[in-house]
């Protein structure tokens, strides 16, 4: 699997990298390195990646797969958890946010859905 980064994604990466360099220099770092923005990424040399996306969470069923409670817009008794619900990839270790979202979803299922099965968010 490969990822081809588009110009706007490269601009975002450069923006953040410049801020990180500034922070490193202000902290008195003896060596502050800056890498170029990625253009292409392959998982072949590093196969323990954190791929995300595919079932994006959002506020509009026309542009997302699940609502804020990770409930399918199309089938209300289907809930989806995992990094697949992220509409973008933060780039690093999604385990914490995935755990928080799983807790959020479980709470909604127990305290809302089971009491009144059906859509938790009206489209």
Residues 58-90 pLDDT 10s: 999 999 999 999 999 999 999 999 999 998 777
3-class SS at 66?
Answer: strand
pTM: 0.64
Report d(CA 71, CA 26) in Å as an integer.
45
Residues 7-34 pLDDT 10s: 998 999 899 999 999 999 999 999 999 9
Distances, alpha carbon 86 to alpha carbons 65, 67, 68, 117, in Å: 11, 12, 11, 25
> Token pair of 16, please?
């953040």
Catalytic residue numbers read: 50
């Amino acid at each position: 699997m490969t990822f081809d980064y588009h110009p706007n994604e490269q601009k975002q990466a450069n923006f953040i990298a410049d801020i990180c360099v500034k922070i490193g220099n202000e902290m008195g770092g003896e060596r502050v390195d800056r890498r170029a923005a990625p253009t292409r990424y392959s998982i072949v040399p590093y196969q323990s990646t954190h791929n995300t996306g595919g079932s994006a969470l959002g506020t509009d069923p026309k542009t997302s797969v699940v609502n804020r409670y990770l409930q399918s817009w199309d089938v209300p008794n289907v809930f989806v958890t995992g990094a697949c619900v992220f509409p973008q990839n933060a780039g690093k270790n999604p385990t914490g946010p995935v755990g928080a979202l799983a807790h959020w979803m479980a709470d909604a299922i127990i305290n809302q859905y089971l009491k009144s099965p059906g859509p938790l968010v009206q489209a």
